[in-house]
Amino acid sequence: MRQRLATVALRTSAGVWRTITRSRRSIPSLLNRLTAGFYMKDEAFAVGMEGACGPGPVQSEADAARTQHGSGARRTKDGAMGGPARVSVFRIQGGRPLSGEVSVKGSKNAALAILSGVILAEEPVTLTNLPLVSDIETKLRLLEQLGASVERAGDRVTIDASRLSRTDPDPDTVRSIRTSFYILGPMLARLGEARLPQPGGCKIGARPVDFHLKGLSILGAKIELVGGQYEATSKKLKGGEIYLDFPSAGATQHLMTAACLAEGQTVIQNAAMEPEVVHLADFLNRLGARVEGAGTSTVTISGVRRLGGGEFRIPADRMQAGTYLLAAVATGGEVTVRDILPEYQAPVMSKLKEAGVSVEHGPDWIKVLGNRFATAVSIKTMPYPGFPTDIQQPMAAVLATANGVSTVEETIYESRIGHIGELNRMGAKVRLEGRTSVITGVDHLEGTVVEATDLRAGAALVIAGLGARGETIVKSVHHIDRGYEGFEQALCSLGAKIERIPSGEWESVSR
Q: Which residues are designated catalytic?
A: 202
Site residues (CB under 6 A) for ligand EPU, limited to 97-116: 109, 112
> Stretches 78-86, 247-255, 461-469, 498-506: which one binds ligand EPU (CB under 6 A)?
247-255
84 three-state secondary structure: coil
Are 268 and 246 contacting, i.e. CB atoms less than 8 angstroms apart? Answer: no
Nearer to ligand EPU, 335 or 412 (CB): 412
- Verify binding: residue 347, ligand EPU, rule CB under 6 A: no
Tell me the closest approach of the beta carbon of residue 111 to ligand EPU, in angstroms.
9
Nearest one of 54, 52, 65 to 501, comparing CA atoms? 54
For the segment 296-315, give every residue that binds ligand EPU (CB under 6 A): none
483 near ligand EPU (CB under 6 A) = yes
Using CA atoms, how far residue 109 sits from 56, 139, 319, in Å, is 26, 11, 9
Mark out the alpha helices in 370-436 (DSSP H runs): 389-399, 418-425
Which contacts (CB < 8 Å, 24+ apart) does range 66-70 have? 68/476, 68/478, 69/134, 69/176, 69/478, 69/482, 70/138, 70/172, 70/173, 70/175, 70/176
Whether cis (ω within 30° of 0) applies to the bond prior to 385 is: yes
Sole binder of ligand EPU in the list 81, 114, 161, 412 (CB under 6 A): 412
The number of residues that bind ligand EPU (CB under 6 A) is: 28
Residue 211 in contact with ligand EPU, rule: CB under 6 A: yes
Q: x-or-dash pattern for ligand EPU, window 139-178, by CB under 6 A?
A: ---------------------------------------x
Strand partners, 21: 7
Helix (H) / strand (E) containing 18: strand 17-23
Is residue 389 a contact residue for ligand EPU (CB under 6 A)?
yes
By CB under 6 A, name the one of 90, 344, 373, 413 that touches ligand EPU: 413
Determine the interface stretch with ligand EPU among 147-155, 249-257, 281-289, 419-427 (rule: CB under 6 A). Answer: 249-257
- Using CB positions, name the residue nearest to ligand EPU: 250
Q: Does 463 bind ligand EPU (CB under 6 A)?
A: no
* Residue type for position 182: Y
- Shortest distance (Å) from residue 122 CB to ligand EPU: 25
| C-beta of 91 vs 456, nearer to ligand EPU | 456
Report the nearest approach of ligand EPU to the CB of residue 344 (Å): 12
**Please, what is the end-to-end C-alpha distance for the chain in angstroms?**
56
Q: How far apart are CA 321 and CA 365, in angstroms?
A: 10
238 strand-pairing partners: 263
| C-alpha dist (Å) from residue 206 to 199, 419, 451, 478, 510 | 11, 18, 21, 21, 36
Residue 78 Cβ vs ligand EPU, minimum distance, rounded to whole Å? 27
Residue 250 touching ligand EPU (CB under 6 A):
yes
Q: Could you tell me if 302 and 276 are in contact, meaning their C-beta atoms sit under 8 angstroms apart?
A: no
Q: What is the DSSP string of 179-234?
A: GGGGGHHHHHHHHSEEEEE-----SSS----HHHHHHHHHTT-EEEEETTEEEEE-
Determine if 208 is a binding residue for ligand EPU (CB under 6 A).
Answer: yes
Among 87, 161, 209, 366, binds ligand EPU (CB under 6 A): 209
Q: How far apart are CA 40 and CA 474, in angstroms?
A: 25
CB of 112 to ligand EPU, least distance (A): 5
Residue 246, phi then psi, degrees to nearest 5:
-145, 145
Chosen residue from 53, 89, 232, 249 binding ligand EPU by CB under 6 A: 249
Fill in the DSSP letter of residue 269: E
Contact 94, 469 (CB under 8 A): yes
Q: According to the binding rule CB under 6 A, does residue 359 interact with ligand EPU?
A: no
Instruction: Write down how long the chain is.
Output: 511
> Which residue in the set 188, 196, 420, 455 belongs to the binding site for ligand EPU (CB under 6 A)?
455
Q: Does 266 bind ligand EPU (CB under 6 A)?
A: no
Minimum CB distance to ligand EPU smaller for 270 or for 448: 270
Q: Is 345 in the site for ligand EPU (CB under 6 A)?
A: no
Beta strands in 376-491 (DSSP E): 378-380, 405-409, 429-433, 436-440, 449-451, 471-475
Cβ distance to ligand EPU smaller for residue 55 or 205? 205
User: Nearest approach, Cβ of 419 to ligand EPU (angstroms)?
Assistant: 12
At 294 the three-state DSSP class reads strand
CB of 280 to ligand EPU, least distance (A): 10
Interacting positions 116-135 with ligand EPU (CB under 6 A): none
The least distance separating ligand EPU from the CB of residue 25, rounded to whole angstroms, comes to: 30
Between residues 344 and 373, which has the closer beta carbon with respect to ligand EPU?
A: 344
Instruction: Tell me the closest approach of the beta carbon of residue 471 to ligand EPU, in angstroms.
Output: 26
- How do 378-380 and 405-409 pair as beta strands? parallel
Mark the segment that binds ligand EPU (CB under 6 A) among 145-153, 217-225, 241-249, 425-433: 241-249
d(CA 445, CA 451): 16
Stretch that binds ligand EPU, among 29-37, 164-172, 210-218, 353-361 (CB under 6 A): 210-218
Using CB under 6 A, list all residues that contact ligand EPU: 109, 112, 178-179, 202, 205-212, 246, 248-251, 272, 274, 319, 389-390, 412-413, 455-456, 483
